[in-house]
Amino acid sequence: MRHTNLHRLWAVLLLLVVLCLPGFWWQPHQEKIVRANYQSLMAPVFFVPGSSATQNRFNALVKELNRESPTTHSLLRVEVMTNGRLEYSGNLKQGDERPFIVVGFQNHRDGPVNVRKQAVWFATAFQALEKTYHFTHFSAMGHSNGGLVLTLFMEHDLAKTKTKIDRLMTIATPFNLEEQDAAVDTDLFKELSGDRTNLPRNATVYSIAGSKTFASDGIVPFDSVNRGKYIFQDQVKHFTQITVTGANANHADLPENQQIVALIRQDLLS
């Protein structure tokens, strides 16, 4: 009798183990799903200036955006030195879910070689900020070559992080540099269009062109900005091209153009 009872006890224990096995398998599987779908409350907005501009480039824009905002966006400025060291000014306020982070570069000279370097420096800053503030998603705006920096980052380095980009807005970004001949593809454009399949599929992208004349915004050829469609279209979730004309539609004034400020509020910050 005792032998029979012992067999029954082992049978019950074995049954319990079998019943618990799916739970042991499911728990880490479920945790993995939760981590993949988790989104932090903080979703910073990154701003990257164009060539010859510093991390102070968007001070007036930030002031204008905050002027009609129900909640004030805090501002952190980061300058990336040529050796990769980061210098900070400003701060992110506790509880601010949409803070602004401007990333500028000690070497902010023009040219495709420097743009590629700036993309690497931006990745350095981004990874440091991600580690410090633990955000899992973000949006970004780049003016002029700043849009090139962000596009290169999205193609080459974003996948190495744990974050997702919600929205990107490029303003007067010369995807084909300052090439006047629409039949000529620059090496940088070939690189951007060649690596477009690396772009995040769930991103929403807005490309804004200024039109001082029918051919350019005074610096960047209209065709160069419109080349964005060959990079983003059919690679991201949504891609929209917008042309702004009228007052303050020249290249340097576009970030403070009232039409564009309204588009930033509507399409980037909403």
**159 falls within a domain:** yes
In tens, the pLDDT along 225-238 reads 999 999 999 999 99
Does the structure show a pLDDT above 70 at 138? yes
Question: Residue 45 is encoded by which pair of tokens?
Answer: 């907005």
Tell me, what's the pLDDT at 214?
A: 75
Q: Which residues pair with 240 in a beta bridge?
A: 206
**14 falls within a domain:** no
**121 falls within a domain:** yes
Q: Tell which wins on pLDDT, 139 or 38.
A: 139
Per-residue confidence band for 37, with pLDDT thresholds at 50, 70 and 90: very low
Return the DSSP state at 216: B
Q: What's the predicted TM-score (pTM) here?
A: 0.85
In tens, the pLDDT along 14-27 reads 666 656 656 555 45
Name residue, tokens 């981590």. 35
Considering Cα of 187, then 222, then 243, then 99, what sign does the dihedral take? positive
**Residues in the chain, total:** 270
Mean pLDDT computed over every residue of the chain: 89
Tell me, what's the pLDDT at 211?
A: 85
Tell me, what's the pLDDT at 100?
A: 97
Per-residue confidence band for 247, with pLDDT thresholds at 50, 70 and 90: confident
Per-residue confidence band for 31, with pLDDT thresholds at 50, 70 and 90: very low
Q: Which residues pair with 171 in a beta bridge?
A: 143, 208
> What count of Cα atoms within 13 Å lies in the side-chain half-sphere of residue 69?
21
**113 falls within a domain:** yes
Least trusted range by pLDDT, from 133-137, 186-190, 234-238, 253-257:
253-257
Tell me, what's the pLDDT at 35?
A: 42
Return the DSSP state at 221: B
Q: Which domain holds residue 181?
A: 40-268
Q: Tell which wins on pLDDT, 12 or 267.
A: 267
Q: Which of 166, 148, 145 is nearest to 156 (CA)?
A: 148
Taking residues 220-229, report their average pLDDT. Answer: 95
Q: Tell which wins on pLDDT, 38 or 103.
A: 103
**21 falls within a domain:** no
Does the structure show a pLDDT above 80 at 176? yes
Query: How many domains does the chain divide into?
Result: 1
- Tell me the C-alpha distance between 107 and 127, whole Å: 19
**27 falls within a domain:** no
What CATH number corresponds to the domain at position 236?
Answer: 3.40.50.1820
Taking residues 89-108, report their average pLDDT. Answer: 95
**172 falls within a domain:** yes
**8 falls within a domain:** no
Does the structure show a pLDDT above 90 at 9? no
Tell me, what's the pLDDT at 34?
A: 36
Tell me, what's the pLDDT at 1?
A: 53
